[in-house]
Structure 1
């Protein structure tokens, strides 16, 4: 695939990219379980594995002509299979960004930034969390800002910057006191531990970058 092609992906390539993302999140189940067990219920890794396994199943079962359909399939798979707050929040990461969006046959960096920015807003409305509350937003918001700032870069370079920003966001969660979930009751004792949801977001961006890089 040429560098020029990498500046936008077809719906079929977006599907393949997220199949790879799903594999990587499922592989990270032990890590996510360990992180969540320190300050949460310990079930985040299991939930993400269930959600992405279902998404992979539904992606493999269908062919897609629009980017919107790919995102919707992933989001709805997560919401229907995971249950609980994280299913809704991570499902919203995929369906929230395409709500009201006209059908798109290709995905470029500009559209990716737009989708994830709308998703971020939808998650904030739904979950009531903000930056610094020790949630997935602490990784997603920096990643979105990096994507928006990288509009003149290649797809790969934009994702590399988003991955780096998400990782910094994960590191920052170690210093925050949790405002949500079981970790909220720990107060200061949650300091020093990273957030599992933010970690998952960083894995998603890292995997997207790896897939594009590999092409």
Structure 2
């Protein structure tokens, strides 16, 4: 029997993403401060909190909630992260418009759609010490698990594991893009803040969906 969750839970699921980013505001800025401006957590929390306020009292499906998150991030975050995460979430939203139930195959398309949308605006990839080091392996892990016949629950666990490994891999990478790339070898030994925030988002997304699976 195919597992799925209702798209009508979208507002609550995105609210969970808001909660985890706002809760990790200081941590994300601390990570960013090692090789960046130290404002990643501040900016991310600002954008996500704005979305949280926009969701209050409204019943939105998953696409609608992701649209609100996109708008909040595009308008509320400075630097590169607003457009990057905005592109990710609008790409996800576009894959689930008018879908009442989200099954494993649909969620795989949501993840791939988000990644493809992001790749439309950046050439960054695995090894560049950025959020792609988390996102790409996580998307691939979910897709591979689904193709191999894993349940939705199992595929989510594979996604979480790959996201964590991708995040941790950035500690041993030299930054090739962004402000940190100017540090060269000095960027070794610390995590990338974008990879960390992406892992938080994907992990919370999985943990929010899992109890809703029917």
TM-score between both structures, scaled by the size of structure 1: 0.89
The reply to whether residue 11 of structure 1 matches residue 3 of structure 2 is no
Q: Equivalents in 2 of 1:83, 1:40: separation in Å?
A: 14
CA distance in 1, matches of 2:47, 2:97: 26
User: Partner residue of 1:130?
Assistant: 125
1:35-83 Cα offsets, whole Å, 9 max, x none, are 000001111001110111112122224222x432222221122111113
Q: Structure 2: give runs of 5+ residues left out of the alignment.
A: none
Could you tell me which residue of structure 1 aligns to residue 189 of structure 2? 192
**Following the alignment from structure 2 to structure 1, what is the Cα–Cα distance between the partners of residues 210 and 84?**
28
Structure-2-length-normalised TM-score: 0.90
Residue in 1 aligned with 2:73? Answer: 78
Whether contact under 8 Å (1:67, 1:107) holds in the other structure is no
**Aligned position for 2:168:** 171
Report matched runs for 1:1-215 at 5 Å.
7-64=3-60, 66-99=61-94, 102-151=97-146, 152-214=149-211
Aligned partners of 2:62 and 2:96 also within 8 Å: no
How many equivalent pairs are there? 210
Partner Cα separation in structure 1 for residue 4 and residue 210 of structure 2: 13
5+ residue gaps, structure 1: none
1:94-126 Cα deviation digits (max 9, x unpaired): 002334765212222222221221221221221
CA contact (8 A) 2:25 2:42 kept: yes
Q: Over residues 133-157 of structure 1, what are the superposed CA-to-partner deviations in whole Å (9 max), with x where a residue is unaligned?
A: 1110110001100111122333332
C-alpha distance in structure 2 between counterparts of 1:100 and 1:137, whole Å: 20
Q: Is the 8 A contact 1:33 1:46 kept in 2?
A: yes
Shift of 1:84: 2.3
**RMSD over aligned Cα, in angstroms?**
1.9
CA offset at residue 16 of structure 1? 1.0
Partner Cα distance (2:11, 2:57) in 1: 11
Give the conservation status (yes or no) of the 8 Å contact 1:11–1:70.
no
Q: Secondary structure at the residue paired with 1:132? A: coil
